[in-house]
Amino acid sequence: MAKKSKIRPRVDMPMQDPTVRCTNFREVALGYSREQAMLEASRCLQCKTPTCQSGCPVEVDCKGFIRAVARGDIETAYGIIKETNSLPAVCGRVCPQENQCEGHCKLAPTGKPIAIGRLERFVSDSYYAKNPCDAITGRDDCPMLREDLKVAAIGSGPSSLTVAGYLAARGIKVTVFEALHELGGVLTYGIPEFRLPKSIVHTEVEFLKKQGVEFLTNQVGGMTVTIDDLFAQGYKAVFIGVGAGLPKFLNIPGESLIGVYSANEFLTRVNLMKGYRFPEYDTPVPLGKHVAVFGGGNVAMDAARTALRLGAEKVSIVYRRTKNEMPARREELEHALEEGVCLECLAQPLAFEGDDAGNLTGIRLQRMELGEPDESGRCRPCCIEGETYVLPVDLAVLALGTGPNPVLLNATPELKQTKWGYIDGDDQTGETSIPMVFAGGDIVTGSATVVMAMGAGRRAAKVIARRLLGEE
Amino acid sequence: MPNTIVKKKGLIPGRVSEMIISAPEIATKARPGNFVVLRLSPQGERIPLTIADTDPQAGTITIVYMVLGKTTAMLEKLVQGDDILDVCGPLGKPTRLDKVGTVICVGGGTGIAAMHHIAKGHHRVGNRVVAIIGARSKDLLLFEKELASFCDEVLVATDDGSYGHKGFVTEVLAKRLAQDAHVGEVVGVGPVPMMRAVAETTRPFKVRTIVSLNPIMVDGIGMCGACRVTVGGKTRFACVDGPEFDAHSVDFDELMRRLGSFREQEQASYNTYCECHG
């Protein structure tokens, strides 16, 4: 391996200035120019046995596409990425690359891995308008869709979109059933505009539509349409990608005070319903002067940064452990701090406090310290006896994770569940206790990442294609 | 097909209307107690409305709404033949319809329409159904005729005494419970103070009492937690755990407070709409 000193640093990606961006919802990271992308790609060692690809849940041929970028052949690079990844413009933005492709890069130990995510983003952004069929098949015409082998996907988040892309490319007709009025699942209601512009999601969905994928909105899996209905309508396989959207609460006193919101509600009002443009859009959004966000994951970062953009004077992330144990991506945490989000670490909420009218006025917190590592390997947070204090806030957002949504599961009692209430799917195929019914994404694993859900969709789609087309 | 308004009827001029909407899939699937979420424009909010009736053969559902804010005011502007942008459903858990003998269904205001579908369900499973409906005055009373077509009794209360008992539905309910020891269940649908009063009226009689709650909702499919209510000390989501709950365990004070969460914005939005659209 080359000596540390000889490796050029990663090419920085231009960003919106923190003092400006915290007042708008426009995208924070601005993306590479062609020159920057080629320069970054030229750092790639082109390893004989690349490890980056195996670090990617959807198996993008990173080495191949980076080689094409290095010589300025963006078109070829796009074709290579799109062969395995239905949502490259999304992945280039929201994947935890540092743990996946980039984490497995041979340069990772030097601290200067190839910026694979940024390159993926550059390539897909450059080829928005490209003919979708050409990208996958090298031909102008899409494969003829087999209506007789049609497949249903419930939910329109990353796992279902991946299933749709994979099968459509192989000529199988897919219909996606979405309960909300907009497509994209968590990409639309969960991830804010400043991290993933909705236009990117729309573009990826349009791409799938051009490939012949059918999308139906306002269709609630288990209510408007059941799994039995789908088989009765001639679908040969069903993929369940309904995510895990049921928000968790702390179950402490005062949680129903006005001013206490789940991150899902807060973000749905803003992202899906465009509440930040109220009254032009009809859905109001809670505005706080002093905001506390509970949790240390990416959703907590998104909620805190959103509150800041809505005009909060002070936004604090309250976390039981310290900054070092937060599960959020480092980049997201850094962006939040740059924008002025404060950290209230080693603090655990005990109770919400309110006024006589039922409005939130503060949160009583328990001061914590780190003890010995627990089973998760992280230091256990322990109470410092007697040390409690009140943080005055008028808005609290709980980003504590989510559980399985019960709607489809209640309607489908024969679907075997795990002891935590998620769908019990085969590790390798995603097939559930009902033959030809597959599941993937958060409804199987619990809250995870976009690309993990895509990986699950890809695994299931491979099996579905093999069974329906008789390929081995 | 796309959520077309098949028929619209003003029930209380300018305030309460009934709409029959073409929605074949929902009409087939909807059970008493279910609701739908509507959205009227690309900038619009999502609002929940209880399904007042269905006609699976015709492929239609019936909704009844009171003009209370911007979205219902916009709904009131639509006419027969117009399409509703989004109709999502059926949502919520259907009413538990056990054969218990006599069921008293109490309805107030537009809640009478929602109660109608539940009462119909109880009638279908063979219960004896007594409807007690109330309004401020006779001309504000809804669905009396429809209820009379299948209910064993329809009792009326008006605040001003213009029709039926002068006073509240709960007075009629209390009298009835005192006379009849065989009431197996009471259902209350209406404004929160009325549902709370129904709960307090039936409590001493120890009769199973169900209320259909109407908290603020956003998605209606169990994703946001906006509609959380405290029932028996536990946090429940009205959209997926309800909307019907045991009346004796509901924290009505909290429900009332939470319903006011966005009152200022809602009022401002409605006022702006009224100024611009008369």
pLDDT tens per residue across span B149-194: 999 999 999 999 999 999 999 999 999 999 988 899 999 999 999 9
pLDDT surpasses 60 at A472: no
| ipTM (interface predicted TM) | 0.94
- The CA distances from residue B170 to A208, A413, B167, in Å, are 57, 39, 9
pLDDT surpasses 60 at A469: yes
Structural tokens at position A114: 């190839």
Q: In Å, how far is B210's CA from the nearest CA of chain A?
A: 21
Chain centre distance of CA A18:
23
List helix spans (H) across B161-228: 169-179, 192-202
Give the pLDDT score at B278: 66
- The CA distances from residue B258 to A90, B87, B140, in Å, are 36, 25, 27
pLDDT surpasses 50 at A340: yes
Of A68, A93, A127, which residue constitutes the final position of a domain? A127
* Domain B3-91 fold: Elongation Factor Tu (Ef-tu); domain 3 (2.40.30)
Helix (H, G, I), strand (E, B) or coil at B18: strand
Strands A260-262 and B16-22: unpaired
State whether A247 and B224 contact (CB < 8 Å).
Answer: yes
CATH of the domain at A425: 3.50.50.60
Choose the closest CB to A278 out of B39, B257, B265. B265
- Under 8 Å between Cβ of B66 and B72: yes
Give the pLDDT score at A141: 66
Give the pLDDT score at A373: 86
pLDDT surpasses 90 at A262: yes
- Is residue A424 one of the residues assigned to a domain? yes
Q: Is A251 on the interface with B (CB under 8 A)?
A: yes
Per-residue confidence band for A135, with pLDDT thresholds at 50, 70 and 90: low
Nearest to B127 by CA among B155, B107, B100, B146: B100
pLDDT surpasses 60 at B93: yes
- pLDDT above 70: percentage of residues in chain B: 99
* Rg of chain B (C-alpha set): 18
Give the pLDDT score at A106: 93
Give the pLDDT score at A372: 87
Rounded Cα distance between A233 and B208, Å, is 41
* H/E segment holding residue A177: strand A172-177
Give the pLDDT score at B1: 47
Per-residue confidence band for A471, with pLDDT thresholds at 50, 70 and 90: low
Domain that holds residue A114: 28-127
- Is residue A177 one of the residues assigned to a domain? yes
Rounded Cα distance between B72 and B69, Å, is 6
- Is residue A9 one of the residues assigned to a domain? no
* Residue from A177, A198, A224, A310 to probe the interface with B (highest B Cβ count within 10 Å): A224
* Domain B102-259 fold: Rossmann fold (3.40.50)
Cβ-based contacts of A284 with chain B (< 8 Å)? 262, 265-266, 269
The neighbour count for residue A454, using CB atoms within 10 Å, is: 32
Torsion of CA B165, B169, B174, B180, to 10 degrees: 80
* Residue from A229, A282, A283, A405 to probe the interface with B (highest B Cβ count within 10 Å): A282
- Under 8 Å between Cβ of A50 and A448: no
Check the annotation: does B227 bind a ligand.
yes
Check the annotation: does B224 bind a ligand.
yes
pTM above 0.80, yes or no: yes
Q: In Å, how far is B274's CA from the nearest CA of chain A?
A: 14
Chain A, residues 364-423, CB within 8 A of chain B, namely 405-407
Q: Do A394 and A304 reside in the same domain of the chain?
A: yes
State whether A265 and B240 contact (CB < 8 Å).
Answer: no
Q: Do A223 and A157 reside in the same domain of the chain?
A: yes
Cβ-based contacts of B1 with chain A (< 8 Å)? none
State whether B224 and A274 contact (CB < 8 Å).
Answer: no
The letter for the amino acid at A225 is: V
Rounded Cα distance between A460 and A160, Å, is 10
Write out pLDDT tens, residues A359-403.
999 999 999 999 888 887 888 899 999 999 999 999 999 999 999
Cis omega (within 30 of 0) for bond into B90: yes
State whether B91 and A223 contact (CB < 8 Å).
Answer: yes
What value does the mean pLDDT take over residues A232-261? 95
Rounded Cα distance between B194 and B107, Å, is 9
Per-residue confidence band for A67, with pLDDT thresholds at 50, 70 and 90: very high
Choose the closest CB to B221 out of A220, A251, A265. A220
Q: Do domains B3-91 and B102-259 have the same CATH topology?
A: no
The neighbour count for residue A239, using CB atoms within 10 Å, is: 31
Choose the closest CB to B221 out of A179, A247, A261. A179
Compare A139 and B61 and report the one with higher pLDDT: B61
Write out pLDDT tens, residues A98-126.
999 999 999 999 999 999 999 999 999 98
Rounded Cα distance between A222 and B51, Å, is 18
Of A366, A398, A430, which residue constitutes the final position of a domain? A398
Q: Is B271 on the interface with A (CB under 8 A)?
A: no
Work out how many domains chain A is built from and give that number: 3
Structural tokens at position A465: 């294609």
Q: Do A279 and A384 reside in the same domain of the chain?
A: yes
Of A377, A398, A419, which residue constitutes the final position of a domain? A398
State whether B225 and A249 contact (CB < 8 Å).
Answer: yes
To 5 degrees, how large is the angle CA B12–CA B227–CA A252?
145
State whether A279 and B269 contact (CB < 8 Å).
Answer: yes
Give the pLDDT score at A210: 87
Compare A203 and B125 and report the one with higher pLDDT: B125
Q: Do A307 and A228 reside in the same domain of the chain?
A: no
What value does the mean pLDDT take over residues A18-43? 94
- Is residue A165 one of the residues assigned to a domain? yes
Q: Is B176 on the interface with A (CB under 8 A)?
A: no
Q: Do A93 and A189 reside in the same domain of the chain?
A: no
Helix (H, G, I), strand (E, B) or coil at A122: helix
Nearest CA in chain A to B222: A246
Domain boundaries along the sequence of chain B = 3-91, 102-259
Q: Is B56 on the interface with A (CB under 8 A)?
A: no
Q: Which residues pair with B60 in a beta bridge?
A: B22, B55
Give the pLDDT score at A132: 59
Q: In Å, how far is B255's CA from the nearest CA of chain A?
A: 9
Q: In Å, how far is A341's CA from the nearest CA of chain B?
A: 24
Residues 6+ apart with CB under 8 A from A292: A315, A316, A317, A318, A344, A363, A391, A393, A395, A396, A397
How far apart, in Å, do the first and last CA atoms of chain B sit? Answer: 31
At residue B84, what are phi and psi to the nearest 5 degrees? -95, 130
Average pLDDT of the residues of chain A: 92
